[in-house]
A and B are shown apart, each in its own frame.
Chain A
């Protein structure tokens, strides 16, 4: 047990120092599932050790949400207590949220439409504004637990899941903090080169997929080495293996098919195919869970437009595990993905993407990468430049 605890403390320290990069004297918010309490506690200790002024832990509970969706009146579904808004609005702050669903199918038997509607939109609005303002250093990390392990391996082998998590977050390195520095430098190099190529669009080709999506001329490709408006660096996702940009939300055509199951609102969406016209998702088909996606796409006017394109190749540690984690934080780093919903303001020089950047209260990543998927960059004059073939990066690297 001592070894596990030691690992947990190191994991928390890495999250606080490299992930959120907590500042001396900062107020730190931890948003955790009740089932993740051991991690929330370790994060709290690490945050005080890093000089936090105050650490506020908010535990959420999916069972409480389930009770509301199942038994509560309609008005409860979208109700947001004022105190949660006040908490969310406080600045300056660092925020850490945890993932690793202890009961991934908990909401599966509920009415998908009600599940999709049960969102505190006012909180998403505040979070989105803070992203645009780049006012918060934040990070997300996963907590290995039995329910999650059961879903991943078919048995509650938490130790095996911990090993995978430690590998993906480079906790297995003698100096994880140095390993992260090196890793982020490599991803930054890749992003810079792709930005310099100034493609007009990307073309995705593969099983169930023939999809062209426009890029914004004023948008960069980025790694997840983020900077607050005042320049303080942080890494919002641990692990991270992607480089990404915000596409032109007005230009997308064709069909795109997901390559991995997507955990969404307590349900699993499998084999999803989206049909896209004039930038908008006009049809959702899936072997399972299409209702939840449709419900989410109706959240607001711009939910059905695209907000993110991300590229990941076979060197990804997450991909190398060969594991489907059923957790976006991990799976989106295994392979290429796309998100519908709001765009990422950081990719624009002044944080303002203009009309090309999608604004919405939702943001859902789904995986599209697989060995058969080919991605080309299209230049203004129509030339196709290979970027990914058979999960191998085609552009030169340093």
Chain B
């Protein structure tokens, strides 16, 4: 499996995640979060992190089968319990300002499909989610999330476990097919960054999505700031939080969302697949959820806390997206959210607001992106002085690339 430079594709991928994604600094503590099925890539990430000068790499492997056993065998109150040692681990990651590399890519996407959706939705470590949320908002860590190709994921996408094909797609999506992926990322970050700048100059008051089954208006705060691919810790370390990433995103006003929206792609959520999702908003709040499949997982999640049913993110993606260009559904939010425009209910990214967690910025322990864009969905901006500016038509970006 030797590729350019004598490194295997696993090693090249790990190197990209460590050098460009998390941008691990010499002497940093590095936290790697993976599933057991990701061991190959996780190990490569650990090696690359030490090569980048990590002082210690702490890895935590989770296992969906253990989660399944919990959902089947534990009492109600244990479902959302956070073991104190895992909370302590997360706190340390924050205090030490560690670099974080998280791996996703569900090896058995239907593993929890036959379990009661309500218990599946509840089975989340709440205190841990709260802590992670706090750290993201305080911008303590340089972090990244990458997807790890595996047979189960390939099977779900293609109907056969064609791992090689999935690897090829992932390499394309994260620009590992380029001769110099690091330079390609620099260019990409600059291009999307310019989009964010132009959107900020427009002084947008409202974003309007319209298309089949969709007529949704989402209000922005005067302090909402559009963000491109690159983020910065509060100490100024740049990092790319998602690989791939194709979006410009911002934090909306949680009080202002009106209308209804039809999801344009299946959503993989806690081991379940949600299809045909339709969501209605009134006064900023989700008032109705319908789906052909999996609605109860969303409903359980919306009941997690008071603010789960308000929006925390809107993101715009056009047809130049490498993920969109594959024409495939990845059944993995990290990829699918970069195929097309999406919105998320739940917690907001304080980084995308001037002043951070000010009034109108959502704060919740959940954050679930679902896809609402596509060639049939028009996206317009309404500026604060009342102009309507078309942003997307037929998946084409209209704002001066």
Could you list which residues of chain A lie within 8 angstroms of chain B, going by C-beta atoms? 34, 37, 40-41, 44-45, 47-49, 52-57, 59, 61, 63-64, 67-68, 70-73, 75-76, 79, 81-84, 86-87, 90
Q: In the complex, which of the residues B83, B85, B89 has the most CB atoms of chain A within 10 Å of its own CB atom? A: B85
- With A59-B63, A83-B89 known as contacts, the answer to whether A67 contacts B73 (CB < 8 A) is no
Across the interface, do A68 and B92 meet the contact criterion of CB distance under 8 Å? no
Across the interface, do B88 and A86 meet the contact criterion of CB distance under 8 Å? yes
Q: How far apart are B62's CB and chain A's nearest CB, in angstroms? A: 8
Kindly identify which residue among B65, B69, B85 contacts A87, using a CB–CB cutoff of 8 Å.
B85
Can you name 28 A-B pairs with beta carbons within 8 Å? Answer: A34-B36, A34-B61, A41-B66, A45-B72, A45-B73, A48-B69, A48-B70, A48-B74, A52-B73, A54-B70, A55-B66, A55-B70, A61-B39, A61-B61, A63-B46, A64-B42, A67-B46, A68-B50, A68-B56, A71-B51, A75-B55, A76-B54, A79-B55, A83-B86, A83-B92, A87-B83, A87-B85, A90-B84
Extra contacts, 15 of them, besides A44-B66, A75-B55, A86-B84 (Cβ < 8 A), are: A45-B72, A48-B69, A48-B70, A53-B74, A53-B75, A54-B70, A55-B69, A59-B63, A64-B59, A67-B46, A76-B57, A83-B86, A83-B88, A83-B89, A86-B88
Question: Which 7 pairs from chain A and chain B are nearest by CB?
Answer: A48-B73, A71-B50, A83-B89, A87-B85, A59-B61, A41-B65, A63-B43
Q: How far apart are A385's CB and chain B's nearest CB, in angstroms? A: 51
Is B97 positioned at the interface, with any CB of A under 8 Å from its CB? no
Is B58 positioned at the interface, with any CB of A under 8 Å from its CB? yes
Q: Is the interface of A mostly helix, strand, loop or mixed?
A: helix
Q: How far apart are B118's CB and chain A's nearest CB, in angstroms? A: 19
Instruction: Output the nearest chain B residue to A72 by Cβ-Cβ distance.
Output: B50
Across the interface, do B89 and A81 meet the contact criterion of CB distance under 8 Å? yes
Instruction: Output the nearest chain A residue to B53 by Cβ-Cβ distance.
Output: A73
Q: How far apart are A27's CB and chain B's nearest CB, in angstroms? A: 9
Which residues of B lie under 8 Å from residue A79 when comparing CB positions?
55-56
Across the interface, do B57 and A68 meet the contact criterion of CB distance under 8 Å? yes
- With A83-B86, A87-B85 known as contacts, the answer to whether A76 contacts B36 (CB < 8 A) is no
Across the interface, do B57 and A67 meet the contact criterion of CB distance under 8 Å? yes
Which residues of B lie under 8 Å from residue A41 when comparing CB positions?
63, 65-66, 69
Kindly identify which residue among A49, A59, A67 contacts B43, using a CB–CB cutoff of 8 Å.
A67
In the bound complex, what is the Cα–Cα distance between A176 and B65 (angstroms)? 26
Could you list which residues of chain B lie within 8 angstroms of chain A, going by C-beta atoms? 36, 39, 42-43, 46-47, 50-51, 54-59, 61, 63, 65-66, 69-70, 72-75, 78, 81, 83-86, 88-89, 92
In the bound complex, what is the Cα–Cα distance between A73 and B83 (angstroms)? 30
Q: In the complex, which of the residues A54, A55, A72 has the most CB atoms of chain B within 10 Å of its own CB atom? A: A72
Across the interface, do B56 and A82 meet the contact criterion of CB distance under 8 Å? no
In the bound complex, what is the Cα–Cα distance between A84 and B56 (angstroms)? 14
Q: Is the interface of B mostly helix, strand, loop or mixed?
A: helix
Q: How far apart are B32's CB and chain A's nearest CB, in angstroms? A: 8
In the bound complex, what is the Cα–Cα distance between A49 and B70 (angstroms)? 11
Kindly identify which residue among A49, A68, A70, A86 contacts B73, using a CB–CB cutoff of 8 Å.
A49
Across the interface, do B84 and A59 meet the contact criterion of CB distance under 8 Å? no
Across the interface, do A82 and B61 meet the contact criterion of CB distance under 8 Å? no
In the bound complex, what is the Cα–Cα distance between A297 and B88 (angstroms)? 33
Across the interface, do A67 and B74 meet the contact criterion of CB distance under 8 Å? no
Which residues of A lie under 8 Å from residue B75 when comparing CB positions?
53
Instruction: Output the nearest chain B residue to A25 by Cβ-Cβ distance.
Output: B75
In the bound complex, what is the Cα–Cα distance between A40 and B35 (angstroms)? 14
Q: How far apart are A165's CB and chain B's nearest CB, in angstroms? A: 21
Which residues of A lie under 8 Å from residue B51 when comparing CB positions?
71
Which residues of B lie under 8 Å from residue A83 when comparing CB positions?
85-86, 88-89, 92
In the bound complex, what is the Cα–Cα distance between A57 and B63 (angstroms)? 9
In the bound complex, what is the Cα–Cα distance between A52 and B65 (angstroms)? 16
Which residues of A lie under 8 Å from residue B86 when comparing CB positions?
83
Across the interface, do B57 and A64 meet the contact criterion of CB distance under 8 Å? yes
Q: In the complex, which of the residues B43, B51, B81, B86 has the most CB atoms of chain A within 10 Å of its own CB atom? A: B43
In the bound complex, what is the Cα–Cα distance between A72 and B88 (angstroms)? 24
Q: How far apart are A52's CB and chain B's nearest CB, in angstroms? A: 7
Q: How far apart are B253's CB and chain A's nearest CB, in angstroms? A: 38
Q: How far apart are A355's CB and chain B's nearest CB, in angstroms? A: 35
In the bound complex, what is the Cα–Cα distance between A388 and B277 (angstroms)? 74
Which residues of B lie under 8 Å from residue A81 when comparing CB positions?
56, 58, 89, 92
Across the interface, do B55 and A76 meet the contact criterion of CB distance under 8 Å? yes
Instruction: Output the nearest chain A residue to B86 by Cβ-Cβ distance.
Output: A83
